[in-house]
């Protein structure tokens, strides 16, 4: 037998889903920003090291 949820149950489920998705998206964005910042500093370090090595080599 099929159960048909009432409007309040549907709204509560949708609100919970939206809240969970918003939380997951925020975590994903934060994780991505951390990775991009780490990669940026890595590339900056490599760039500075290459420039320093080129300056010190005859």
Give the pLDDT confidence of 30-52 residue by residue, as tens digits. Answer: 999 999 999 999 999 999 999 99
**pLDDT given for residue 54 in this prediction:** 94
Task: State pTM to two decimals.
Answer: 0.67
DSSP single-letter state for residue 57: -
Residue 52 CB partners (closer than 8 Å, separation 6+)? none
With CA atoms as reference, report the closest residue to 36 among 46, 48, 44: 44
Note the maximum CA span of the chain. 84
Q: How far apart are CA 51 and CA 17, in angstroms?
A: 51
């Amino acid at each position: 037998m099929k159960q048909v949820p009432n409007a309040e149950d549907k709204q509560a489920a949708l609100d919970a889903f939206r809240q969970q998705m918003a939380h997951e998206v925020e975590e994903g964005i934060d994780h991505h920003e951390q990775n991009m910042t780490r990669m940026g500093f890595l590339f900056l370090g490599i760039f500075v090291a290459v420039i320093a090595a080129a300056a010190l080599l005859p």
